[in-house]
Amino acid sequence: NIGYIRSLRSTPVNRFSIGIQSFRQPDLDYMKRAHNAQQAEAAIKGAQDVGFDKLSIDLIYGVPGMTDNHWKENLDKVRETQIPHFSAYALTVEERTALHHAIAHNKAVPVDAAQAAGQFGILMDMARTMGYEHYEISNLALPGQYAIHNTNYWRGLPYLGIGPSAHSFD
């Protein structure tokens, strides 16, 4: 909601992180995400239009059906949208989730570790050519765009997390 995003600009919030996961609808369908690919792109554009310059997105690789070319297209979209920071995670299937149940009952294709490993290699190669620094196993940023809270984790500094599933440390 653009009105909500705009209202955040008048608060101390200065970093906006969006759980895109993939710009491809089949990937989002497989992962049973609540948003669609068009909403993912609209969320980025909305945050940028409102003026969030500390913008980060999350992507997931190793999704069954996601070819290496599909993964490269996701990374190309990072470049096109000029995202300064992003996180990329291999799809993991947690027990007691709908996806775990679907895989266990042969209603969904299981994750292929070799595919995920290959796509991690693509991530490292493309990120480097796109000018991103791979500063943590899952976090990549343009120079000077590291997430302060991520680097503070490693320094043992206190932080406040706000929102669903947020974590704080003091």
* pLDDT, tens digit (0-9, with 9 covering 90-100), for 48-70: 999 999 999 999 999 999 999 99
- Give pTM, 2 decimals: 0.89
Helix (H) or strand (E) holding 2: helix 2-8
Q: Number of helices and strands (H, E) in the chain?
A: 7, 5
Position 15 scores a pLDDT of 86
* pLDDT, tens digit (0-9, with 9 covering 90-100), for 131-152: 999 999 999 999 999 988 778 8
Report how far residue 38's alpha carbon sits from residue 122's, in angstroms, rounded to the nearest whole number: 25
Residues in a beta bridge with 16: 55
Closest CA to 113 of 75, 150, 62: 62
Report how far residue 168's alpha carbon sits from residue 35's, in angstroms, rounded to the nearest whole number: 27
User: In angstroms, what CA-CA distances link 22 with 46, 66, 91?
Assistant: 17, 10, 11
